[in-house]
């Protein structure tokens, strides 16, 4: 494709227009000129939401051609070629499967399902249709995270010994009614919301987790889901580490941080400073790599070095990746998280819950 010839269009149907829906829309709209030329030009066809007025307003704001109040209309819409599920967790399975069975490529927010079983079902039924599928683990698309993966693959860290990942937020004591606090809607609490990200990057950067030993806590009286979990993880490659998430860490706004120690060096990251990667080559001490050089991942699309990008642009990279896979009929993995990855993360989540309950180190199951 030449530089001045953008590719053909792809019709997008979006379920949900809150936080995640807004972030996805910004991704579609921005990639169309920033990640130039886009492999497919996103055409914002239709957006679905339950409140008719609100979804119509969202359509006007975000530039969708039409809005609907039933996701089944998205599934039935022949102009929707990509179904983007940014709805709450209890709306992941049925619409996503239906869309795939209607022949649409599917993107689903994380966690894929509310349980490993539900996640497995989504994966299997969607995989059977032959469409492209992706779980929206957007942190794989942070430039610093991709660079870390490249360094690990290149052997810069040697043999991996430790992974310590924690995702800390502070808003758990809110008394607002949030679907993320309801078991039926969310499945789990900090675990599925934040912990799933930790687990996904652990798998992406280090490898499969073999077993976990965990405890969970619900600090808010009457809350149906976990507010925090702590786990020891043993990786199949011999590494060992910790996985943690909490919504009860005052001062930590969105602190997804991890550290990896290998035989030849260490890496560190904190989402609150997402343009930075910490790197100790051997025992030299940590240096701050401001991941914005011309040859850094994704940076060809952006600015001169030092002109940092924001959290929202992880979605530009993520959605571009999916569109490229659709356009060229290439694999979504290993850099994109497939529904198999979504399922794999869910098995770790389930094992964490089992371990918290049983008091035993639990093997990760795989159907």
- 74 in Cβ contact with 83 (< 8 Å): yes
Rounded CA gap, 6 and 40, in Å? 7
Q: What string of DSSP letters covers 77-137?
A: -TT--EEEE-S-GGGSHHHHHHHHHTT-EEEEPSSSSSSHHHHHHHHHHHHTTT--EEE--
Q: Please name the helix (run of DSSP H) or strand (run of DSSP E) that holds residue 43, with its range, or none.
A: strand 41-48
Residue 241 binds to a copy of itself (criterion: CB under 8 A): yes
Cα four-point dihedral sign 72, 76, 77, 82: positive
Least spacing, CB of residue 239 vs a copy of itself, in Å: 8
Region of 82-90, 128-136, 190-198, 207-215 interacting with a copy of itself (CB under 8 A): 207-215
Residue 300 binds to a copy of itself (criterion: CB under 8 A): no
Residue 232 binds to a copy of itself (criterion: CB under 8 A): yes
Residue 166 binds to a copy of itself (criterion: CB under 8 A): yes
Residue 61 binds to a copy of itself (criterion: CB under 8 A): yes
Least spacing, CB of residue 22 vs a copy of itself, in Å: 8
82-85 and 9-15 as β-strands: parallel, antiparallel, unpaired?
parallel
Residue 311 binds to a copy of itself (criterion: CB under 8 A): yes
Least spacing, CB of residue 252 vs a copy of itself, in Å: 7
Least spacing, CB of residue 88 vs a copy of itself, in Å: 16
Determine which residue in the list 130, 155, 250, 333 makes contact with a copy of itself, applying CB under 8 A: 250
337: DSSP letter: B
Q: Which residue in 92, 93, 342 sits closest to 332, CA to CA?
A: 342
Residue 155 binds to a copy of itself (criterion: CB under 8 A): no
Q: Which residue in 200, 304, 215, 209 sits closest to 258, CA to CA?
A: 200
Rounded CA gap, 261 and 156, in Å? 11
Half-sphere exposure of 361 (CA within 13 A, CB side): 7
Region of 93-101, 106-114, 194-202, 264-272 interacting with a copy of itself (CB under 8 A): 264-272
CB neighbours (10 Å) of residue 10? 21
Least spacing, CB of residue 337 vs a copy of itself, in Å: 19
Residue 75 binds to a copy of itself (criterion: CB under 8 A): no
Least spacing, CB of residue 71 vs a copy of itself, in Å: 22
Residue 308 binds to a copy of itself (criterion: CB under 8 A): yes
Based on CB atoms, which residue is closest to a copy of itself, 173 or 330? 173
Residue 355 binds to a copy of itself (criterion: CB under 8 A): yes
Based on CB atoms, which residue is closest to a copy of itself, 29 or 125? 29
SS3 of residue 367 by DSSP: coil
Determine which residue in the list 1, 50, 52, 63 makes contact with a copy of itself, applying CB under 8 A: 63
Determine which residue in the list 205, 249, 319, 351 makes contact with a copy of itself, applying CB under 8 A: 249
Residue 191 binds to a copy of itself (criterion: CB under 8 A): no
Cα four-point dihedral sign 13, 331, 234, 279: negative
Residue 169 binds to a copy of itself (criterion: CB under 8 A): yes
Least spacing, CB of residue 228 vs a copy of itself, in Å: 7
Q: Measured between alpha carbons, how far apart are the two ends of the chain, in Å?
A: 41
């Amino acid at each position: 494709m030449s530089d001045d010839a953008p590719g053909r269009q792809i019709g997008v149907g979006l379920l949900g227009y809150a936080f995640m829906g807004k972030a996805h829309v910004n991704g579609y709209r921005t990639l169309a000129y920033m990640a130039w030329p886009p492999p497919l030009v996103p055409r914002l066809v239709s957006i679905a939401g339950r409140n008719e007025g609100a979804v119509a307003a969202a359509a006007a704001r975000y530039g969708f051609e039409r809005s609907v109040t039933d996701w089944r209309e998205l599934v039935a819409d022949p102009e929707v070629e990509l179904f983007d599920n940014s709805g709450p967790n209890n709306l992941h399975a049925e619409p996503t499967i239906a869309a795939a069975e209607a022949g649409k490529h599917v993107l689903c927010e994380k966690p894929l399902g509310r349980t490993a079983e539900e996640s497995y079902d989504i994966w299997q039924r969607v995989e059977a249709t032959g469409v492209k599928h992706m779980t929206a683990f957007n942190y794989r698309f942070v430039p610093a995270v991709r660079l870390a993966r490249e360094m690990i693959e290149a052997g810069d860290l040697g043999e991996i010994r430790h992974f310590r990942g924690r995702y800390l937020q502070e808003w758990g004591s809110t008394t607002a009614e949030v679907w993320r606090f309801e078991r039926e809607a969310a499945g789990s609490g900090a675990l599925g919301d934040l912990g799933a990200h930790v687990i996904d990057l652990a798998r992406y950067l280090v490898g499969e987790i073999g077993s976990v030993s965990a405890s969970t806590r619900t600090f808010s009286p009457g809350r149906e889901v976990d507010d925090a979990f702590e786990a020891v993880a043993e990786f199949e490659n011999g590494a060992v580490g910790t996985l943690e998430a909490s919504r009860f860490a005052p001062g930590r706004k969105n602190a997804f941080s991890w550290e990896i120690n290998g035989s030849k060096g260490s890496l560190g990251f904190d989402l609150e400073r997402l343009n930075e990667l910490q790197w100790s080559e051997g025992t030299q001490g940590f240096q701050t790599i401001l991941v914005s050089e011309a040859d850094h991942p994704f940076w060809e699309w952006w600015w001169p070095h030092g002109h940092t990008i924001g959290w929202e642009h992880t979605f530009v990279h993520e959605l571009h990746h999916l569109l490229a896979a659709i356009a060229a009929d290439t694999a979504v993995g290993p850099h994109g998280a497939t529904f198999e990855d979504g399922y794999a993360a869910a098995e770790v989540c389930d094992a964490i819950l089992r371990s918290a309950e049983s008091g035993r180190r639990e093997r990760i199951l795989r159907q």
